[in-house]
Amino acid sequence: MKTKLKKIVKDYITFPAYILMHPFDGYEDFKRYKKAKFSVAIVFIILFVYFQIFSFKNLGFLANPNNPSDLNSLQEVFSVLLLVFLFTVGNWSVTTLMSGKGSYKEILMVTGYSLFPLIVLGFPSVILSNFLTLEEMTFYQLIMYIAYIAAGWMLFMGILNIHEYGLFKTIAAFIATGVSIAVIMFVGLLFFDLIQQAIAFVVSVIEEFNLRY
């Protein structure tokens, strides 16, 4: 039991924290020595989904722009998973053309691991926000800023290392990823619009057939 607990702490806390503090060495272990685990990345994504729901419902009223009674859990789940899907597919599509060395699985794992600061700092911050006054709410905002900056840092350094890019090529890859995401969203919306029109056409044909016969 003790050995299993130590392994969980190492996989879910120690190693992600090591990547955050030592990104070059951490991502070297991540990619070359296969110390990262796909299951850990998936758990982090699931925990971030839960964090979004938890934050929507439990964030202190001084900092919460949402009405907790308006919570739609499925919408929150879909939003996070869609964002992860768009980024990973977008990044994989452009880095393949830019001679990137990372696979889609590695991009997904980097994305999952980069959520570590938001999970570790996010939950305590939401709880803390319920005990802060309006003047003290700056502490909550500061902690969340640090969490998002740390997550962005881990994601940026992860993409840089797994694709074996330099600084400027990594920046270019992120810009190209943004363009790719916009294209995917446009094509997706166009596809669903065509599907909707096709369904409407079939329904109108069926109604016309029923009226005539």
- Over the stretch 162-187, which tens digit does the pLDDT of each residue have? 999 999 999 999 999 999 999 999 98
Please determine, for residue 213, whether its predicted confidence score (pLDDT) is greater than 70. no
Which pLDDT score is estimated for 23? 93
Please determine, for residue 66, whether its predicted confidence score (pLDDT) is greater than 90. no
Say how many C-beta atoms besides its own lie within 10 A of residue 83's C-beta: 13
Please determine, for residue 199, whether its predicted confidence score (pLDDT) is greater than 90. no
Please determine, for residue 4, whether its predicted confidence score (pLDDT) is greater than 70. yes
Average pLDDT over residues 12-18: 94
* Contacts for 22 with CB less than 8 Å, ≥ 6 apart: none
Q: What angle do CA 182, 30, 121 make, to 5 degrees?
A: 70
SS (H, E, C) the chain: CHHHHHHHHHHHHHHHHHHHHCHHHHHHHHHCCCCCCHHHHHHHHHHHHHHHHHHHHHCCCCCCCCCHHHCCHHHHHHHHHHHHHHHHHHHHHHHHHCCCCCCHHHHHHHHHHCCHHHHHHHHHHHHHHCCCCCCCHHHHHHHHHHHHHHHHHHHHHHHHHHCCCCHHHHHHHHHHHHHHHHHHHHHHHHHHHHHHHHHHHHHHHHHHHHHHC
Please determine, for residue 212, whether its predicted confidence score (pLDDT) is greater than 70. no
Residue range 90-126, pLDDT digits in tens? 999 999 999 889 999 999 999 999 999 999 999 999 9
Residue range 139-166, pLDDT digits in tens? 999 999 999 999 999 999 999 999 999 9
* Tokens of residue 28, six digits: 């070297």
DSSP letters spanning 51-68 = HHHHHHHHS-TTT--S-G
d(CA 46, CA 114): 13
Determine the length of the chain: 213
96 vs 4, more confident: 96
Which pLDDT score is estimated for 155? 96
Average pLDDT over residues 54-78: 86
* Contacts for 120 with CB less than 8 Å, ≥ 6 apart: 13, 147
DSSP 36: S
Structural domain count, the chain: 1
**pTM metric for this prediction:** 0.89
Which pLDDT score is estimated for 104? 95
Please determine, for residue 31, whether its predicted confidence score (pLDDT) is greater than 70. yes
Is residue 200 very low, low, confident or very high in pLDDT (cuts 50, 70, 90)? Answer: confident
Residue owning tokens 């806390």: 13
Average pLDDT over residues 55-72: 84
Q: Which domain holds residue 202?
A: 2-212
Which pLDDT score is estimated for 202? 79
Mean pLDDT lowest for which of 21-30, 92-101, 159-168, 194-203? 194-203
Which pLDDT score is estimated for 118? 95
